[in-house]
Amino acid sequence: MSASSDSDHHESVQDSSISSLPGSARSSRPEGQYTVGIIGGGQLARMMHQAAISLGVHTRLLATSPDESAAQVMRDVTIGSHLDHDAVLDFAKGCDVVTFDHEHVPTEYLREMEEAGVAVRPGSEALVHAQDKAVMRARAAADGAPCPLWQVCDTPADLIAFGDAHGWPVIAKTSRGGYDGKGVWKVEGPEEVDEPFEAMGGLADGQQPIEILAEEFVDFTRELSAIVVRSPSGQGVAYPVSETVQRDGICVETTTPAPGMSDERQAEIQQMAMGIAGRLGVVGVLAVELMERADGSVVINELAMRPHNTGHWSIHGARTSQFANHIRAVLDLPLGDPSVTAPVVVMENVLGGSEMDLTGALQHCFARDRSLHVELYGKQVRPGRKVGHVTCLGTDVEDVQRRARHAAGYLMGDRNV
């Protein structure tokens, strides 16, 4: 499914259009060049910037340190915290549109930016569903979207009651502040229920209340990701569904399209994701993380409203990357073709390992595979940290996975791959 219309949901988007914005930012750069403000300086901002360059779009960054991945390569950088009210509001004043590298800007600040007339994309009404897993579960349940059994737990006793009622193990999650598996616990039995409650303080940002959510443990056979992009005028595009592999809560590999999935099933999942984007009024990328059961049914794990790790394959494996489409969407430009450029596209994350000299390791990887694509994020190598990704294209799933795994393994320092 590509370029499907979503006009039913058109009215639900509350952003003002760019052309109607007062142009405080416009005087500071060439006429006709828009300024897209990105809050958060990680690799997603870096790759959004890369896509914006081709469109002549000026990007401005709010990063917490000049060493952050995107701050290293962008010219217009403000150093400040996304949790600092004045820093965020001042930053937004200079932008035509504000978008995000992560979902940790307090929801209240998003609302204030909107009240000040800034085009916040995605807007607060939508983004809160990616910020707060309890809000997302309640909304998904109300909309009839498939979810595991869940419940907000105020006390460890509530978590025990949930496990006793629905069976152990259970998954406990913080409603806010989690990422890369931090803030998610597999709780095997009543003796382990205290840990999430003790750890939640560490993820609190002091601005928003955090709750503990209990979820039924889904014995999934694989995880999937459905990425769609939606513009303020209601145009939507859906990328092919990817199979994703998480290790210790971190995405390590995606294969696109998801092997063995029928076209009909893929279209159903894409439509489900597009329906969520329309109902919530999402602008930009929406990633719907899914868990697939043995019978082929799926349940929603969580939502992300920004370019997503499971969509990195699209830089080289799709006709229009998720980053290019995100920038187009936030500027309300027509969206590009999301279809794959090869029958099989595999993305492998490069996590920090024993190899410190990533540029040196490229010597081997590129010499071995001339069609390999590598993105490195300029980040200091630290164990387990996402420092880059590789993408391989081809026709045979096993062959493409083997090539991608070899390159990523080598870049991580594994010489036995």
Pairing of strands 4-5, 35-39: unpaired
Q: Which residues pair with 247 in a beta bridge?
A: 250
How far apart are CB 271 and ligand ATP at their closest, in Å? 22
**C-beta closer to Mg ion: residue 52 or 184:** 184
Among 22, 56, 117, 181, indicate the residue that binds ligand ATP (CB under 6 A). Answer: 181
Candidates 81-89, 91-99, 285-293, 363-371: pick the segment binding Mg ion (CB under 5 A). Answer: 285-293
**223 sits near ligand ATP (criterion: CB under 6 A):** yes
184 binds, among ligand ATP, Mg ion, none (CB under 5 to 8 A by kind): ligand ATP
Tokens of 315: 């830089």
Candidates 18-26, 192-200, 214-222, 388-396: pick the segment binding ligand ATP (CB under 6 A). Answer: 214-222
Candidates 255-263, 299-307, 372-380, 409-417: pick the segment binding Mg ion (CB under 5 A). Answer: 299-307
What count of residues does the chain have?
A: 417
How far apart are CB 186 and ligand ATP at their closest, in Å? 7
**34 sits near ligand ATP (criterion: CB under 6 A):** no
**306 sits near ligand ATP (criterion: CB under 6 A):** no
Task: Please name the helix (run of DSSP H) or strand (run of DSSP E) that holds residue 52, with its range, or none.
Answer: helix 43-54
Q: How many CA atoms lie within 13 A of 282 on its CB side?
A: 29
**Which residue, among 379, 327, 382, 324, has the nearest Cα to 71 in the 3D structure?**
379
Candidates 41-49, 53-61, 269-277, 300-308: pick the segment binding Mg ion (CB under 5 A). Answer: 300-308
**205 sits near ligand ATP (criterion: CB under 6 A):** no
**178 sits near ligand ATP (criterion: CB under 6 A):** yes
Candidates 70-78, 213-221, 325-333, 336-344: pick the segment binding ligand ATP (CB under 6 A). Answer: 213-221
Q: 268 CB contacts (<8 Å, ≥6 apart)?
A: none
**246 sits near ligand ATP (criterion: CB under 6 A):** yes
**184 sits near ligand ATP (criterion: CB under 6 A):** yes
- Cβ proximity of 383 and 369 under 8 Å: no
How far apart are CB 311 and Mg ion at their closest, in Å? 13
Tokens of 7: 């006009």
Question: Site residues for ligand ATP, window 127-146 (CB under 6 A)?
Answer: none
Q: Is the dihedral of CA 129, 123, 226, 265 positive or negative?
A: positive
Cα–Cα dist 65/1, whole Å: 40
Q: How many CB atoms lie within 10 A of CB 208?
A: 17
**217 sits near ligand ATP (criterion: CB under 6 A):** yes
**114 sits near ligand ATP (criterion: CB under 6 A):** no
Number of residues that bind ligand ATP (CB under 6 A): 20
DSSP string for residues in 122-187: S-HHHHHHHH-HHHHHHHHHHHT-----EEEESSHHHHHHHHHHH-S-EEEEESSS-BTTBTEEEE
Cα–Cα dist 54/68, whole Å: 22
Q: In whole angstroms, how far apart are CA 232 and each of 19, 24, 87, 121, 139?
A: 13, 22, 26, 9, 21
**249 sits near ligand ATP (criterion: CB under 6 A):** yes
Q: Please state the residue numbers annotated as binding site.
A: 133, 173, 215-218, 223, 301-302
Tokens of 335: 């969206």
Among 125, 192, 215, 332, indicate the residue that binds ligand ATP (CB under 6 A). Answer: 215
How far apart are CB 103 and ligand ATP at their closest, in Å? 8
**302 sits near ligand ATP (criterion: CB under 6 A):** yes
Q: Please state the residue numbers annotated as binding site for ATP.
A: 133, 173, 215-218, 223, 301-302
217 binds, among Mg ion, ligand ATP, none (CB under 5 to 8 A by kind): ligand ATP
Give residue 226's identity as a one-letter amino acid code. A
How far apart are CB 79 and Mg ion at their closest, in Å? 28
How far apart are CB 107 and Mg ion at their closest, in Å? 19
Cα–Cα dist 337/319, whole Å: 6
**236 sits near ligand ATP (criterion: CB under 6 A):** no
| Chain center to CA of 154 | 28
Q: 144 CB contacts (<8 Å, ≥6 apart)?
A: none
How far apart are CB 168 and ligand ATP at their closest, in Å? 12
Output phi, psi for 100, to 5 deg: -135, 150
The residue ranges that bind ligand ATP (CB under 6 A) are: 148, 171, 173, 178-184, 215-218, 223, 246, 249, 289, 301-302
